[in-house]
Amino acid sequence: MIEVLFQHKSIRKYKPDNISDEILNRILLAGTRASTTGNMQVYSILVNREKKLKEQLWASHFKQNMVLEAPVLMTFCADFNRFNKWCEYRKASPGYDNFLSFFTAAIDALLVAQNVALAAENEGLGICYLGTTTYNAQQIIEQLKLPRFVVPVTAITIGYPDENPPLTDRLPLEGVIHYETYKDYTKEDIDRIYAEKESLQQTLDLLKINKTETLAQIFTDKRYTKKDNIAFSKTLLNVLEKQGFMNNG
Amino acid sequence: MIEVLFQHKSIRKYKPDNISDEILNRILLAGTRASTTGNMQVYSILVNREKKLKEQLWASHFKQNMVLEAPVLMTFCADFNRFNKWCEYRKASPGYDNFLSFFTAAIDALLVAQNVALAAENEGLGICYLGTTTYNAQQIIEQLKLPRFVVPVTAITIGYPDENPPLTDRLPLEGVIHYETYKDYTKEDIDRIYAEKESLQQTLDLLKINKTETLAQIFTDKRYTKKDNIAFSKTLLNVLEKQGFMNNG
């Protein structure tokens, strides 16, 4: 299994082949084996295969073509709706309409998502995470008809790969691991940790295309800008409020 | 690898044996292969092995003995500190002091955590997630000396298992999966989905010990109460503010 972890790469081009129900069920079952808080399983997985709804979701995911091309799109949601209903039918008063409960459920959903992703890759399928899920959570809630206490936190496209990209770079281990306590980064540390990433041919090409001096500027000025982040922060906090998770006493 | 996913169980009793540096590094490297948003890797992993600090962290984790017994405790943090420093040293202005950025970084940290957990299990190690990480995030920040823009989101104990508990129950697949759109649950659905869980001998024992009528009441009245959830919601939102992630424009 360690090979599956080490061979992971995001797949953005898919063959049109469908995923059999047998494989789909096995992947989903593997997802449900993940640890969840108190074994409450406060998540849901939405599985989309039909064209009509996938076209709507494609728009929510910034029209990334892989959403249309992949035979399956899965959306992982923090979900206290089912648990709350269970409580209510069992003479119990749920107190899960707050931020901690949302975050607890989001953790559940994300650990399940990674299990599903790895189980899919183990079957020879390729996956790609969609960060756009939180950006357009409100639209996705409407498209998937998610009730109160259900919030989408991530999504993946799944299908048979029609590309074989190289492994992407990673920071060296020392860049992300701290033993005992956090050792903050000096300029020399930052230079050393980012040296490999900054010297990749791919990085040099990006600088040319984007006409920027540094790679960091591509992130701050083009890909993940303050303006977008603030707009999406407001949307996401509004979604949490609207879905019932911001009654913090 | 599918076996590792399907055999997962939380391990709360550990042998005193240490984990070799070789194995530890392999597990951590497997963690770094997880997808992260824009390959930014906005997470950090704190690795604790020394007794003194583990005793402090044990207190933060509600004095659960596995924190002391396991040879390794890992804390997974949403971390924009390193990325922000990189931006600043590269003439770029980071705009990652907001809620969306925190949540993005939390997703990164959680996918990495699940990779590490599975890689550890693949080595014959056992793990247990600690939900207490978010409850006492402020204490943990002080103990691990986490700077601004770093927030702990989950933690796991890791070590060689000294117990072999049975697999825990899960809701049937139909309880957590929705095809195309969300189908809300009727009383009959809830009865069917929770039937197996509610009829387990373990559940009947819990009802006796706790002197409650239903299993749901054990969750709402004892394990995850509204009062605690509201207190922890406030703490967690304060932590996000204090660590610099609530400048939402």
Q: Which residues does residue B179 pair with via DSSP β-bridges, in sequence order?
A: A47
Of B86, B98, B229, the CB nearest to A190: B86
Residues B17 and B116 both lie in one domain: yes
**Percent of chain B residues topping a pLDDT of 90:** 99
- Closest by CA to B126, choosing from B9, B23, B46, is B9
The answer to whether residue A29 scores a pLDDT higher than 90 is yes
pLDDT value at residue A84: 98
Residues B178 and B68 both lie in one domain: no
Residues B156 and B179 both lie in one domain: no
Residues B203 and B102 both lie in one domain: no
| Angle separating helix axes A187-199 and A201-210, nearest 10 degrees | 90
Contact between chains at A226 and B93 (C-beta distance less than 8 A): yes
Confirm whether B159 is domain-assigned.
yes
What average pLDDT does chain B have? 97
Q: In this structure, what is the dihedral angle of CA atoms B35, B37, B42, B45, given to the nearest 10 degrees? A: -20
**Location of structure tokens 């049937």:** B172
What are the b/e assignments for B114-137, b being 16+ CB within 10 Å? bbbbbbbbbbebbbbbbbbbbbbb
pLDDT value at residue B128: 98
Give the model confidence (pLDDT) of A144-186 as tens digits. 999 999 999 999 999 999 999 999 999 999 999 999 999 999 9
Q: Which residues does residue B119 pair with via DSSP β-bridges, in sequence order?
A: none
Confirm whether A211 is domain-assigned.
no
Q: Which of B219, B223, B245 to mutate to test the interface with A (most CBs of A within 10 A)?
A: B219
pLDDT band at B1 (very low <50, low <70, confident <90, very high): low
pLDDT value at residue B2: 84
Give the residue on A whose Cα is nearest the Cα of B57: A180
The answer to whether residue A1 scores a pLDDT higher than 70 is no
> The domain containing residue B132 runs over which residues?
2-165+228-242
Contact between chains at B111 and A113 (C-beta distance less than 8 A): yes
Residues B233 and B110 both lie in one domain: yes
The answer to whether residue A215 scores a pLDDT higher than 80 is yes
How far is C-alpha B43 from the chain's CA centre? 14
List, in order, residues 6 or more apart from A55 with CB less than 8 Å away: A68
Give the model confidence (pLDDT) of B170-190 as tens digits. 999 999 999 999 999 999 999
Confirm whether B86 is domain-assigned.
yes
Give the model confidence (pLDDT) of A50-107 as tens digits. 999 999 999 999 999 999 999 999 999 999 999 999 999 999 999 999 999 999 999 9
Residues B187 and B105 both lie in one domain: no
Rounded distance between C-alpha atoms, residue B128 and residue B142, angstroms: 23
Q: Check if the interface score ipTM surpasses 0.95.
A: yes
pLDDT value at residue A123: 97
Residues B93 and B188 both lie in one domain: no
Confirm whether B80 is domain-assigned.
yes
pLDDT value at residue B249: 85
Counted domains in chain A = 1
DSSP summary character for residue B124: T
pLDDT band at B134 (very low <50, low <70, confident <90, very high): very high
Confirm whether B249 is domain-assigned.
no
Residue A8 half-sphere exposure toward CB, CA atoms < 13 A = 27
Å from B209 to nearest chain A CA? 17
Residue A90 is part of a domain; what is its CATH number?
A: 3.40.109.10
Contact between chains at A216 and B87 (C-beta distance less than 8 A): yes
Residues B144 and B183 both lie in one domain: no
Residues B159 and B208 both lie in one domain: no
Residues B154 and B178 both lie in one domain: no
Over residues B215-222, mean pLDDT: 98
Confirm whether A44 is domain-assigned.
yes
DSSP summary character for residue B42: -
Over residues A236-247, mean pLDDT: 98
Confirm whether A40 is domain-assigned.
yes
Residues B37 and B81 both lie in one domain: yes
SS3 category, A149: coil
The answer to whether residue B167 scores a pLDDT higher than 80 is yes
pLDDT value at residue A2: 84
The answer to whether residue B94 scores a pLDDT higher than 90 is yes
Contact between chains at B34 and A8 (C-beta distance less than 8 A): yes
Q: Which residues of chain A does B24 touch, with a Cβ-Cβ cutoff of 8 Å?
A: none
Over residues A31-52, mean pLDDT: 97
Q: Which of B9, B26, B35, B53 to mutate to test the interface with A (most CBs of A within 10 A)?
A: B35
Tally A–B CB contacts below 8 A: 356
Distances (CA, A) of B66 to A239, B21, B22, B48, B153: 37, 21, 23, 13, 19
Å from B145 to nearest chain A CA? 6
Residues B40 and B136 both lie in one domain: yes
Confirm whether B247 is domain-assigned.
no
pLDDT value at residue A249: 85
Give the residue on B whose Cα is nearest the Cα of A10: B35
pLDDT value at residue A23: 98
Over residues B14-31, mean pLDDT: 98
